[in-house]
Amino acid sequence: MALAHFLQDEINKGKSLRVYVEGGGCAGFQYGLKFDDPTDLDEVTHKDSISLIIDPMSSMYLEGCTLDWIDGLYGAGFKIINPNATDHCGCGHSFST
């Protein structure tokens, strides 16, 4: 898995992948991903050798979501499938509930 490779480099070693939601984007909210250290308030989930962290505010918007890696004709990247979203923008990076 390519993500595990990034988590082993000098800058990110020992960090987790933070999945979060913030205001912005053309539909109201947007997703974010970054390598980070968990805080005491974060929810931590482990899958294989990867730790995912979600803050309490983002948790209510990401409940039931699926994080998937897509590698296709239009490029490669993470895709978040959110059953709570009522609308999406055309690029798929922002949503509303």
Q: What does the pLDDT look like over 74-95, one tens digit per residue?
A: 777 888 888 888 777 766 667 7
User: pTM higher than 0.85, yes or no?
Assistant: no
Q: Which fold has domain 2-8+17-87?
A: Hypothetical Protein Aq_1857; Chain: A; (2.60.300)
Give the Cα separation of 8 and 10 in Å (integer).
7
Quick: pLDDT tens for 57-79: 999 989 998 888 888 887 778 88
The SS3 assignment for 2 reads helix
| pLDDT of res. 49 | 78
